[in-house]
Amino acid sequence: MFFHSLGVVGALAILAVTSPVPHALHEVRTAIPSGWEKRETLDRRAILPMKVALAQGNLDKGWDWLKDVSQPSSANYGKHWSAKDVAEAFAPSQGTVDAVKAWLASAGIDGPRVRQSQSLNWLEFSATVDEAEELLKTRYNVYEHESGQPHIACEEYSIPAHLQEHVEFVYPTVHFDAKLKARGLSEDAAGGLAVEKRDPDSNRGRGWGPGKPWGPWKPPGGGWRMPKVSARPAIQ
């Protein structure tokens, strides 16, 4: 009986270690915007600049804090906040930061590869296409605008179910509001294959933008890059 109990405990321990973490669909795009066409899957050598938008804290206090510095009757009238004050006031909880970092670490994305933005509400890292697709249970494609401009996107992605309250969204993924380059602009002048995402006058998500809690949401830059390949010696 004793050995039987040990066997049961051991089996449960193995299951606890090997059981996959349940994922839940986080965002999905149902259509391709007009003027864009889905092309090939993304080159497996491509490196994506990934960014995880963390759930911000104290959003329910934003309006009260704004009134506190803008109403003449307030003792804090005119005492406007610095960018550092704003970042710290709306920073995600340490629990949120730790939970998302633990998820990334479980996928081998940890240590110096992951950095928290100066505004505190982004975790940023570079990942190969394989890493990003495995992390988000998705598939990336290159899309091309009728002007010839490329864009990276996927149709949907998932994250661990227990992280949905901690993550606003992941970028680049389903978001398809790329800002088109002016016709005739050279690739070098436009920053290579980098694509500037989103209209800065648009709002996105439940929170306010980093460093601008009462202003429009401004996302990070996007695009992808190919890794540098050292030249091979010529064959004699």
What residues form DSSP beta bridges with 167?
Answer: 54
Domain borders along the chain are 22-227
Contact in structure between 166 and 54 (CB atoms under 8 Å): yes
- Structure-token match 């309250």, residue found: 165
In the chain, what percentage of residues exceed pLDDT 70? 67
Average pLDDT over residues 1-5: 49
Q: pLDDT: is 97 or 11 the higher one?
A: 97
The per-residue pLDDT for 103 is 97
What is the identity of the amino acid at 42? L
- Position 233 scores a pLDDT of 43
CA-based nearest residue to 170, from 232, 215, 127:
127
Structure tokens that stand for 114 in this block? 């992951």
Residue 12 has pLDDT above 80, yes or no: no
Look up residue 73 and give its two tokens.
Answer: 């009757």
What is the pLDDT at residue 226? 54
The band of 19, judged by pLDDT with boundaries at 50, 70 and 90, is low
Mean pLDDT, range 49-67, rounded to an integer: 89
**Higher model confidence: residue 228 or residue 146?**
146
Q: How far is the C-alpha of 145 from the C-alpha of 232, rounded, in Å? A: 35
Instruction: With residue 134 as reference, give the H or E element that holds it.
Output: helix 129-136
Helix (H, G, I), strand (E, B) or coil at 5: helix
In this predicted model, what pLDDT tens digit does every residue of 167-222 receive, in sequence order? Answer: 999 999 999 766 776 554 444 333 333 333 333 333 333 333 333 333 333 443 44
- What is the pLDDT, as a whole number, of residue 82? 86
Q: Region of 137 please: left (phi>0), alpha (psi -120 to 50) or beta.
A: left
Pairwise pLDDT comparison (223 vs 199), residue with the higher score: 223
Alpha-carbon gap, residue 151 to 144, rounded angstroms: 6
What does the alpha-carbon distance between residue 88 and residue 30 come to, in Å, rounded to a whole number? 36
- Among residues 64, 125, 118, which one has the least CA distance to residue 88? 118
Higher pLDDT among residues 131 and 200, named by residue: 131
